[in-house]
Amino acid sequence: MVIDSIPMVVGMAYAIIATLMIVVLLRRGKFNKRVGYVFLVVSTLFGFLVFAPMLPYQFQTIILGNTKQLGAPVALAVVVLVAFVVLAFMFGKAFCGYVCPIGTLQELIYHIPTKKVRIKNKVFPVAFRFVFFVAFIVVALVSSVGLLKYLGVRDFFYLDVSSAFFYVFLALLIISPFLYRPFCRFLCPYGVLLSLAAIKSRFKLRRNENCIDCKKCGEVCPTNEAGRTDLKQECYLCNRCKYVCPVDGIDYTGKEVSVQQKA
Binding-site residue total for ligand SF4 (CB under 6 A)? 25
Q: Hey, what amino acid is at 190?
A: Y
Which of residues 39, 51, 136, 183 is near ligand SF4 by CB under 6 A?
183
- Do 53 and 101 form a contact (C-beta atoms < 8 A)? yes
Residue 72 interacts with ligand SF4 (CB under 6 A): yes or no: no
- Which residue number is nearest to ligand SF4 in terms of Cβ? 103
- Do 48 and 1 form a contact (C-beta atoms < 8 A)? yes
Q: Binding string to ligand SF4 for residues 92 to 111, with x set by CB under 6 A, is what?
A: ----x---x-xx--------
CB nearer to ligand SF4: pick between 36 and 71: 36
Distance in Å, CB of 96 to ligand SF4, minimum = 3
CB nearer to ligand SF4: pick between 71 and 125: 125
Which 20-59 positions form the footprint of ligand SF4 (CB under 6 A)? 55-56
Whole-angstrom distance, CA of residue 209 vs CA of residue 177: 34
Whole-angstrom distance, CA of residue 55 vs CA of residue 91: 17
Where helices occur in 144-163 by DSSP H, the ranges are: 147-150, 153-157
Whole-angstrom distance, CA of residue 169 vs CA of residue 26: 31
Which of residues 140, 184, 197, 198 is near ligand SF4 by CB under 6 A?
184
Distance in Å, CB of 250 to ligand SF4, minimum = 7
Which of residues 156, 191, 207, 252 is near ligand SF4 by CB under 6 A?
191
Q: Which helix (H) or strand (E) holds 94?
A: helix 94-98
Cα 107 to its chain centre, rounded Å, is 9
Whole-angstrom distance, CA of residue 184 vs CA of residue 120: 17
Q: Residue 213 phi/psi, 5° resolution? A: 55, 40
Whole-angstrom distance, CA of residue 193 vs CA of residue 225: 18
* R_g (Cα) of the chain, nearest Å: 18
Residue 60 interacts with ligand SF4 (CB under 6 A): yes or no: no
CB nearer to ligand SF4: pick between 7 and 118: 118
Residue 236 interacts with ligand SF4 (CB under 6 A): yes or no: yes
CB nearer to ligand SF4: pick between 162 and 211: 211
Distance in Å, CB of 67 to ligand SF4, minimum = 21
CB nearer to ligand SF4: pick between 71 and 232: 232
Whole-angstrom distance, CA of residue 201 vs CA of residue 87: 8
Chain residues that interact with ligand SF4, rule: CB under 6 A: 55-56, 96, 100, 102-103, 183-184, 188, 190-191, 194, 205, 220-221, 223, 225-226, 235-241
